[in-house]
Structure 1
Amino acid sequence: MVKFSKELEAQLIPEWKDAFVNYWQLKKNVKNIKLSRRTAETQEKHDFGVSILDPIRYVTKRITNRFYGSADKNEILEVENKSKGRDVENLCQTEQDQLFSEENEVKLFFERLDEELYKVDQFYQTRESEFLERGEILNKQLQILLQLKQILNDRRRKSLQSKSDAGILPRSNSGFVRSSSDCSDSEVEFMETSPETSPASDVNGVNFIGSAARSKTKKGKPNMAMRIDIPITAPTRAIATATSMLWEDLVNNPKKDGPGDFINRKKIQCAQKMIRGAFVELYRGLGLLKTFSSLNMVAFTKILKKFDKVSKQEASGSYLKVVKRSHFISSDKVVRMGDEVESIFTKHFTNDDRKKAMKFLRPQLHKASHMLSFLVGLFTGCFVTLFSVYAMLAHLSGMFSTTEVDYMETVYPVFSMFALLSLHLFLYGCNLFMWKSTRINYNFIFEFSPSTALKSRDAFLICTVFMTTVVSAMVIHLLLRSSGFSPDQVDTIPGTLFLFFIGLLIWPFNNFYRSSRYCFIRVIRNIIYSPFYKVLMVDFFMADQLTSQIPLLRHMESTACYFLAGSFRTHQYETCKSGKLYRELAYVISFLPYYWRAMQCARRWFDEGDINHLANLGKYVSAMVAAGARITFSRQPTQLWLVMVITTSSVATVYQLYWDFVKDWGLLNPKSKNPWLRDELILKNKSIYYLSIALNLVLRLAWVETVMRFNVRIFESRMLDFLLASLEIIRRGHWNFYRLENEHLNNVGKFRAVKTVPLPFREMDWDD
């Protein structure tokens, strides 16, 4: 049977952990009571020895406790409840001195219990007030949306009627036309407009038909206006400005026909999706609050039973009455509001289809399948076996000798690209495993859907299938080449494999992790179009991964050039290794990941106004300068460029190390209670953090190899490049864990367990 302490730790909300009752500390208090009583009994026996009257004393004591203890148990706790207005306080004052004056540990236990009850109750009230306020705001947003949809319906109906009267179109009451939307990742369903909602109705004091917007004050100026404030993810700010103007034109001139109808319907879809997402998050928050209430109630019950067992008193009944009268148990506002959200969501977003509504509100998590574990093991065994076969065949055929230069120049970039990508996938699977083991809520941080997000075994399966396929192609390629097939036929295998994986990535059918593949494509799109897209956590996290995959991008460029230029037929691989275009591409590819990341920092500074983002931008600019100096030095190994490489790389490394340790990991705090770490640590073994700091420092210095200029053969040179690229990916996978640990602890410190979805409508003064 699992102990409740472990069950509580497994079920509690990680971001609200500090708000839960400190069950573990209360257990220590109970244990201290037990130890103190045991000490007292030992002392009593030591003072009076063993007597034949001890059984009589024991029976007398039990009878006394039974008859008098029950009469006095209601006097153990005296609770003073002060409930006035918004400030509701539960002050639990226990009269321990009457019954337990001789036992300080009991007094300390009840003092701690009072503090924990007050803490839990206050947190619940605060969160309840926030969710109730959020619910009122969402209700207003929904009413405004219904009004706006009615406006557009009326405009379209009048337009169709006028055209029908003119003999252009037949009359129709079709309402909205379903259209795609850039703000939606999937098809957005339209709500049914409530028949009670008329265009002339007032929404919370604001008439949205335009009469209030055009109403005049005494000075002849408009009093209030409603304005849509939907984030538009367009490549230019001009489009956002134009659509905003068209939207305001719709509100202020509802009878006017114009070319902006499609964009207005598009913005309605965006607003609807945002409000729908906000309702889902509100419902999720209400569910978390109900879980918070029930778990704390069970915790109080369990700890009081432990106290009764140890102290041989019956205090649990009296204290539990106090707990049940507390706001976090007695209030039913959260339950009623959850029912209201279900009703509203079902009516307006799923056309009264409750089953469909529950798919949004309560998404079912896929249980881990044993078949998945079996497949991971199967493909791992296949990969190890095939790679051993390939290594033996390559050695026997002499493919790694100096005479087979073309093999290393043509095949190595393709297969090493796949190997580096597989290594990154494997480390991501390790990250997922560690994040889950340490209860880091990575799905919430990345805003992933828990029902479709990759699990660690999913990542391992993708990685093993990927590498098994790649090594199989390598073995087939080597066998065909050794059997005398012409190179122009054999060397199409790597290119075919490359195209196969690209096709699999964009495969439109709903199999083989389509949601994850399309999410990856969207994130890459956002990175490429930086800074024109609003930067989310997953965007700059992925961009950081790309800064560690510059060798992979270089290999992709070489592979594309090799096949597009037709070099696989002529085996003139020098075509893609020389010329001005190649040199320029080398610089561009080395700069791109740092450029994208720098542009993301610029966009975040523009959106948030935090100067730290500009400082982070400087880090990536220094990395770009260092990368350019190293590339130039590899082509012009002069003393001047050697000094430039050492200088720029040293500056960039110090900059990066500072940001890794202080900003991204939150470590190196001299005032921390954990020396040079941080106050809160997820891993219990502190030495792991110090080892991680040292490892990150060593791996950040891998650029030193570029200035050492080892005199090795082409095979050893390629293997050295692959080793250094692998070490950088390992460093990035190692960095990932601590980066998300720090982000998670920031969420815990702010009790941030529910995503705040931006809302489309806001009230503002006309002058604004």
Structure 2
Amino acid sequence: MKFGKEFLSQMVPEWQEAYLDYNQLKTLLKEVSQVRQVEASDKQPSKFNRRGSLYRAFSGLTGGRSFQKLQEDAIHTNIIQRGSEGECYQSMLFTSSLEKGSEIEVDFFRKLDDELNKVVGFYKKEVGELMEEAEELSKQMDIFIALRIKVEKPDCSFEDSNEHISLTGRSRKEVTQEVEMAEETSLEDAKSYRRKASKEIVQPTIQKLKPVSLELLPQVRINVQPETPISTLKCMVMSSTSQLSYSKTELRKAEELMTRALIEFYQKLRFLKGYSFLNKLAVLKIMKKYDKITSRKASKAYLEMVEKSPLGSTVEVTRLVERVEAVFIKHFANGNRRRGMDILKRKIRRERQGITFFSGFLFGCSIALVVAIILVIHLRNIFKSPGRVQYMDNIFPLYSLFGFIVLHMLMYSANIYFWRRYHVNYTFMFGFKQGTELGYWEVFFLSSGLAVITLACVLSNLDMEADPRTRTFAAITESIPLALLIALLCIIFCPFDIIYRSSRFFLVRSAFHLVCAPFYKVSLQDFFLADQLTSQVQAYRSLQFYICYYMWGDFIRRSNRCFQSKIFEAFFFVVAIIPYWIRTLQCLRRLVEEKDVEHVFNGLKYFSTIVAIAMRTGHDLNMGMIWRILAAISSAIATILGTYWDIVEDWGLLQRNSKNPWLRDKLLISNKSVYFVAIVLNILLRLAWMQSVLGLREAPFIHRQTLIAIVAVLEIIRRGIWNFFRMENEHLNNVGKFRAFNSVPLPFEYDKNEMRTRF
């Protein structure tokens, strides 16, 4: 793999704008190379044997070195101070006045200097923020250890205890020894640059924090985050913080939050070290290319300047990494280093070739089953069978449920493929546990497997005629759809570690958050899942039909009276508005927390859809002209609002002043026509959804249930297209704000002014 592609693949996606612009620098070098090739081919003896020198100063620098030495090195570097802005890294190129391409080389070094200053500035800012966060984590660890002592040793009095607690809870000598031991274990397979940095911290100057005694605990409050319905209700009637009660429950909650905070902090440190190493490597690669093209010796001087910059020394970050490892291993892994490092380091998900093979195999089987069903329909002449209407009214809605699920999973698999291709960090935004998220092959494998089972069941249940003697169908074959549904639900809620248990539980947990809306804090995965459910209205109605058909219908005779029941009609409306009502409640919760008026308009959009569904359902059940007019008007309003919100708010497109006309400034797909095609498709597919309101109940040669299924399929496809651009826009927003990590609430709150003298 070429370095440019490897460089892009190793980037932290949200920091992409802060990395060295390697591709543009390589483009400038290509121009230099082209000029040099032309010069070499057209080179002729000069009429004048004149040798002049000209230096190209990027910032008007004058060095103290001799001019002859500068000519030999080809480049002079310098570091100047720019007031409060800090150090600025600049270089000066020396070339012959008769040399072609020198202006392009000047542009190259000017761009390289700008990129280096950008990288160094970002690195310094991130290191400063991490040092502040480390100080706060040290205080939180001191309080946590004091709380642990008080809970585990309740007889220890505040006055008699003078426990000396630092970030690690040990003396300076113990900290130094543990850091040395950690270095010996963790640096065996490290790079040479890391070995050099480690030697500098073998005897680190550890700033001793002032001892924090147990008498400070009464001044500390537990940080109660309203993350569950019960805690949310409690926060409505009392303060969001409460005094410590020194219970094991509080200790366990504090330990969980501290563990999450240290893991997230550790990942930040590792990402920042990787950021430094990757950018230094990019500078090294680009300067080697420059030396090779120009036959100069400029890389040595420039790399010396890079090594003198904060980017060249990661001692502070390395020291923090070792301290976090030592703290975590002792206090959260019972001294077991292997276990502690397994928790701290994120697991890398490995692709398994068996999944790829079986995915293709099952997909091929599903295609073969589709062909087999078509042949059976043709050979039995089912389209002209008198029992086909009975089959479509009773059996088709049962199997269509699985068709909707399979199609949605296939669209999600395609979404994952394109998110990865365009480096959309969906795993971070959804909050998936690192190493357990499903890839597109896994999702494709599950959808293909479900498709094969469903099609096999359909093939076994294609009888159109009942037994002429008993006028009933076989109970076993008629119960196949119900058995398939029960099996699917059992797999989803199966507690055993099979069939991607972590992903199944993640889905169940998010679904439970939707059921309890608005009592749970709304995260992206919650409202994203709720948006998916809004496109599965027909699937809910199929579930409702399952209950009615098998509990109150005569499924052996393939007959039901569901639509003759007022209760069924009422629930026919209720199940359709549930996902939209959940989204409305989520918007209300976000409005209360974020105080952003945008959530009001978003909630009104979903409420307009609820009204449209009510009018449409009334029209489906009553078939009156007034209902038709109300359904058409309300659905038109909901479609306009939904389309505008999809394109402008969720996708961030149709911006007038954008450098990409009517799109947005930043695009992940280079082909801009893709965005316009997606806009048109979104409008057309929403209009297709609107057509179901206008009274088109049955078309020629198409049964009513088939038409309903087609409209539902179009809505699922629209949602799949929406998913990619919605997450692309969310990813770019994160990139613009350099948000690459989750915000973890800390367990304790205290008066900083009151505690300042103690820390």
What corresponds to 2:448 in structure 1? 464
Q: 1:204 to 1:68 in 2, by over 3 A?
A: closer
Counterpart secondary structure, 1:79: strand
Report deviation, 1:567: 3.0
Q: Does 1:25 align with 2:24?
A: yes
Give the corresponding residue for 2:653.
Answer: 667
The corresponding residue for 1:698 is 684
- CA–CA distance in structure 1, aligned partners of residues 170 and 77 of structure 2: 55
Where structure 1 has 5 or more consecutive residues not aligned to the other structure, the ranges are 58-66, 159-192, 197-202, 214-224, 255-263
What SS is found at the alignment partner of 1:507? coil
Residue in structure 2 matched with residue 109 of structure 1 by the alignment: 108
Rounded to whole Å, the distance in 2 between the matches of 1:99 and 1:230 is 70
> Which residue, 592, 595, 604 being the options, matches 1:609?
595
2:738 aligned residue (732, 739, 751): 751
What secondary structure sits across from 1:729 in the alignment?
Answer: helix
Query: Which residue number in structure 1 is paired with residue 523 of structure 2?
Result: 536
Q: Which 10-residue stretch deviates more, 473-482 or 720-729? A: 473-482
The answer as to 2:119 corresponding to 1:120 is yes
Q: Are the counterparts in 2 of residues 669 and 677 from structure 1 also a CA contact under 8 Å?
A: yes
Amino acid at match of 1:12: M
Question: One-letter code of the match for 2:739?
Answer: R
The superposition leaves residues 508-539 of structure 1 with CA deviations (integer Å, 9 ceiling, x where unpaired) of 11011111111111011000110010111100
Partner of 1:724: 711
SS in structure 2 opposite 1:707?
coil
User: 1:371 maps to what in 2?
Assistant: 354
Q: Match of 1:353?
A: 336
Shift of 1:669: 0.3
1:89 is aligned to 87
CA offset digits 1:90-143 (Å, max 9, x no partner) = 331425478899722222222112111111111111111112221221222122
Please give the alpha-carbon distance, in whole angstroms, between the structure 2 residues aligned to 1:299 and 1:765: 43
Inter-partner Cα distance in structure 1 for 2:13 and 2:234: 38
1:486: Cα distance to partner? Answer: 3.6
Residue 154 in structure 1 maps to residue 153 in structure 2:
yes
* 1:720 partner amino acid: L
**Contact 1:76 / 1:96 at 8 angstroms: preserved in 2?**
yes
Change (3 A) 1:711 1:735: closer
Equivalent position of 1:134 in the other structure: 133
- Contact (CA 8 Å) 2:394, 2:559: kept in 1 or not? no
Question: Paired residue for 1:405, among 389, 406, 410?
Answer: 389
- C-alpha contact (below 8 Å) 2:510/2:526 kept by paired residues: yes
CA contact (8 A) 1:78 1:94 kept: yes
* 1:440-451 paired onto structure 2 within 5 Å: 440-451=424-435
Q: Give the AA of the match of 1:554.
A: R
> Secondary structure of 1:77's partner?
strand
**Secondary structure in structure 2 of the residue aligned to 1:94:** strand
Distance 1:101 1:88 in 2: 35
Query: In the superposition, relative to structure 1, how do residues 309 and 596 fare at CA in structure 2: closer, same or farther (>3 Å)?
Result: same
- Give the alignment partner of residue 234 of structure 1, picking from 213, 228, 237: 228
Task: Find the aligned partners of 1:505 and 1:271 in 2 and give their Cα distance.
Answer: 31
Q: CA deviation at 1:492?
A: 1.3
Q: Which moved more, 1:612-621 or 1:557-566?
A: 557-566
Matched, 1:270 2:264: no
Contact 1:488 1:570 in 2 (8 A): no
Provide the secondary structure at the position in 1 that maps to 2:517.
Answer: coil
In the alignment, which of 671, 675, 686 is matched to residue 689 of structure 1? 675
CA contact (8 A) 1:230 1:759 kept: no
8 Å CA contact 1:97–1:107 kept in 2: the answer is: no
Q: Are the equivalent residues in 2 in contact too, given 1:373–1:457 (CA < 8 A)?
A: yes
**Is 2:573 the partner of 1:587?**
yes
Give the counterpart letter for 2:458 in structure 1.
M
AA matched with 1:676 = W
Could you tell me which residue of structure 2 aligns to residue 306 of structure 1?
Answer: 289
Q: Partner letter of residue 643 of structure 2?
A: L
Task: State the one-letter code of the partner of 1:625.
Answer: V
| Cα distance in 2 between the residues matched to 1:766 and 1:306 | 55
Equivalent position of 1:322 in the other structure: 305
Identity %: 32
SS in 1 for 2:88: strand
- Provide, for residues 358-398 of structure 1, a one-character-per-residue CA deviation record: whole Å limited to 9, x for no partner: 22222332321211111011111111112222233244445
- Relative distance call for 1:206 and 1:320 in structure 2 (3 A) is closer
Counterpart CA distance in 1 for 2:752 and 2:350 is 51
The residue matched to 2:267 in structure 1 has which SS?
helix
Q: TM-score, normalised by structure 2?
A: 0.84
Aligned to 1:171: none
SS in 2 for 1:682: coil
Summarize the alignment of residues 651-662 of structure 1 with structure 2, pairs less than 5 Å apart.
651-662=637-648
**Cα distance in 2 for residues equivalent to 1:4 and 1:368:** 23
Cα-to-partner distance string for 1:618-677 (whole Å, 9 max, x where unaligned):
110000001111111112232222221221111111111111011100000000000100
Count of paired positions: 689
Partner-residue secondary structure (3-state), 1:577: helix
2:485 alignment counterpart = 498
**Residue deviations 1:428-460 (CA, integer Å, cap 9, x gap):** 001011111111111001010131100000000
Match of 1:344 in 2: 327
Q: Does 1:524 align with 2:511?
A: yes
**1:233-268 CA-partner distances (Å, limit 9, x unpaired):** 3324575349978984545xx6xxxxxxxxx43333
State the distance in 2 between where 1:271 and 1:303 align: 48
Superposed displacement of residue 13, structure 1: 1.8
Q: Secondary structure at the match of 1:698?
A: helix
CA contact (8 A) 1:16 1:748 kept: yes
Q: 1:600 to 1:228 in 2, by over 3 A?
A: same
Structure 2, gaps ≥5 residues long: 52-65, 158-167, 172-207, 755-759
State the distance in 1 between where 2:392 and 2:225 align.
49
Q: Which amino acid aligns with 1:116?
A: E
1:279 partner amino acid: L
1:723 to partner: Cα distance? 0.8
Q: Which residue of 2 aligns with 1:169?
A: none
Residue 763 to residue 30, structure 1, CA distance change in 2 (3 Å): same
Secondary structure in 1 matching 2:346: coil
Q: Any idea what SS the aligned residue of 1:271 has? A: helix
Name the CA distance, whole Å, in 1 between partners of 2:494 and 2:27: 57
The aligned amino acid for 2:338 is: K
Q: What's the counterpart of residue 288 of structure 1?
A: 271
In structure 2, how many angstroms separate the alpha carbons of the residues matched to 1:647 and 1:721? 20
Does the 8 Å CA contact 1:602/1:617 hold for their aligned counterparts? yes
The one-letter code sitting in structure 2 at the alignment partner of 1:227 is R
Which digits, 9 at most, give the CA deviation of each residue in 1:565-596, with x for residues without a partner? Answer: 2532454411x222210111011111101000
SS in structure 2 at match of 1:573: coil
Alpha-carbon shift at residue 209 of structure 1 (Å) = 4.5
Note the C-alpha offset of 1:78.
3.2
